[in-house]
Amino acid sequence: MRNYLRSHGFIDFKLDLNQLDWRDWQTLGQIQESLSQLADTLLPPGQERGLYELYLLRGARATIAIEGNTLEVEDIARIATGRAFRPGTPGAENYEVREARNIIALYNDIAKRIFSGQVTRVQVQTFLDYNGRILREITPESGASPGGEFRSHPVTIGNSRGAPYDDVPYLTDRLCTFLYHDLEELKALGSVTQGIFQALLAHLYIAWIHPFADGNGRTARAIELHILIATSVPDIAAHLLSNHYHRTHPEYYEVLDRSRVQGPVPFLQYALRGFAELLRQQQQEISARQRINLWESFIQQQFEGRNSDLQQRRRTLALALAVALDEPIALEDIPNLSPILRTLYFEKPRILQRDLEGLSQMTLRSPDSVLGAQAPLPAGIVALTDEGARGRAELMKVFRPLVVVDQDDRISSDSTSSIQLPLAFPSSSEET
């Protein structure tokens, strides 16, 4: 009989899906829908990589912040790109910097190797390799096993103990078998949902087993990331769970402990709930970027053929107001939006005022469609208020599909006079 069965009987490599209630399955449905929409999202060239970098940096920052690292996203971006450190931040040889550099390199390599088809499933060696990468150039505590090797001594985590060290190699191998062979019932849920369960269970079991002297949490989250990407979760979404764990880290540790008594379900419920919420927030962020793209396209359309220096200057101003589509920006802050606006308007308030007034009175072009010419758009691409100026985002509603807002509404003849239908439809008396 193995020692862990006496001390860690809860490590039983079982999952009872019947313990999930209808709310959990509803959350899973929301996650599936969000991931499906995300996979079909189109962005201009360059922006998709910009999003990947943004969520990679956030995820990397979150996974090391859980362990106490104080670096911010901006600091990690500088580390990743080799730029000079900000004044007051640690130097290149600082522990926190080495930790961040290791995580960024590992996360990039995980994505690169999976997308190139070099790896798919995690194996025992994957655990060892990732832990070694995470702890590269980080000196272990006295007497502790080095990074990339299973620990050879007992370890305590808070009020809990890791599994007996002599069982760690067996348990890690057994975990791989559990993930890829024992969970046959998950196949019926689809590959993405199966992958989410596999990723979360791998994370949980690594926390329970605690196979290494250091870096277990970071290793667990790296394995989780690997499995999510390998099972077709979009790369920018695969980094979200680390942000959830960091934002709610007291609950994160509490639910890991509670799962030792109640089994995997409390951790699954906690992680799924956070994943769904962060996916909704991610969709909102992407929608905001898409709206800016649409605004820029709308402005370019409105200024097509208007090539004078005055019109080109106003076009530049209107494009910059993409940052003020919801709330107005104070006029004195507009020159600080970009270097070119500073050149055009710094200490030139009269010119700025005249250009904004010109944009607020500008005659706009209505788009044509198969329905014929549309109603003229109201004049003004900018709205001026006491608080400042904002781009009139409401003008972009012309790009939305036609929809009846309320079934009780009745369309008046006035509201339909501007839409010219090229086809003749039979009246009700002619219908058969």
Residue 418 has pLDDT above 50, yes or no: no
147 pLDDT band (50/70/90 cuts)? confident
- Give the model's pLDDT for residue 43: 78
Residue whose C-alpha is closest to residue 137's, from 216, 215, 226, 57: 215
Residue 123 has pLDDT above 50, yes or no: yes
Q: Do 174 and 318 share a domain, yes or no?
A: no
Mean pLDDT of the residues in the chain: 87
Q: Report whether 147 contacts 214 (CB < 8 A).
A: yes
Higher model confidence: residue 169 or residue 140?
A: 169
- Structure confidence by residue, pLDDT tens digits, 305-364: 999 999 999 999 999 999 898 899 999 999 999 999 999 999 899 999 999 999 999 988
Number of domains in the chain: 2
> Quick one: 229 exposed, middle or buried, by C-beta within 10 A (0-12, 13-18, 19+)?
buried
Where residue 235 sits, what CATH number does that domain have?
A: 1.10.3290.10
In a domain, 60, yes or no: yes
Q: What is the DSSP letter of 381?
A: S
If you average pLDDT over residues 255-275, what whole number do you get?
95
Give kind and range of the element (H or E) at residue 160.
strand 160-161
Percent of the chain with pLDDT over 90: 68
- Structure confidence by residue, pLDDT tens digits, 224-249: 999 999 999 999 999 999 999 999 99
Q: Do 278 and 327 share a domain, yes or no?
A: no
Q: Which residues pair with 383 in a beta bridge?
A: 390
User: What is the SS3 assignment for 383?
Assistant: strand
- Give the model's pLDDT for residue 48: 80
125 pLDDT band (50/70/90 cuts)? very high
145 pLDDT band (50/70/90 cuts)? confident
In a domain, 409, yes or no: no
Q: Do 238 and 126 share a domain, yes or no?
A: yes
377 pLDDT band (50/70/90 cuts)? confident
If you average pLDDT over residues 196-213, what whole number do you get?
97
Q: Do 211 and 82 share a domain, yes or no?
A: yes
Give kind and range of the element (H or E) at residue 138.
none
DSSP letter string, 58-100 = HHHHHHHHTTT----HHHHHHHHHTPPPPTTS--TTSHHHHHH
Residue whose C-alpha is closest to residue 220's, from 179, 191, 166: 179
Q: Do 76 and 108 share a domain, yes or no?
A: yes
- Give the model's pLDDT for residue 412: 40
- Give the separation between CA 8 and CA 208, rounded to whole angstroms: 8
Q: Do 84 and 200 share a domain, yes or no?
A: yes
- Structure confidence by residue, pLDDT tens digits, 283-306: 999 988 888 888 998 899 899 999
Q: Do 244 and 337 share a domain, yes or no?
A: no
Q: Which residues pair with 388 in a beta bridge?
A: 385
Higher model confidence: residue 83 or residue 257?
A: 257
Give the domain range for residue 312: 303-401
Least confident of 18-22, 139-143, 382-386: 139-143
- Structure confidence by residue, pLDDT tens digits, 5-61: 999 999 999 999 999 999 999 999 999 999 999 998 887 777 888 888 999 999 999
In a domain, 419, yes or no: no
Q: Report whether 129 contacts 105 (CB < 8 A).
A: no
Residue 262 has pLDDT above 90, yes or no: yes
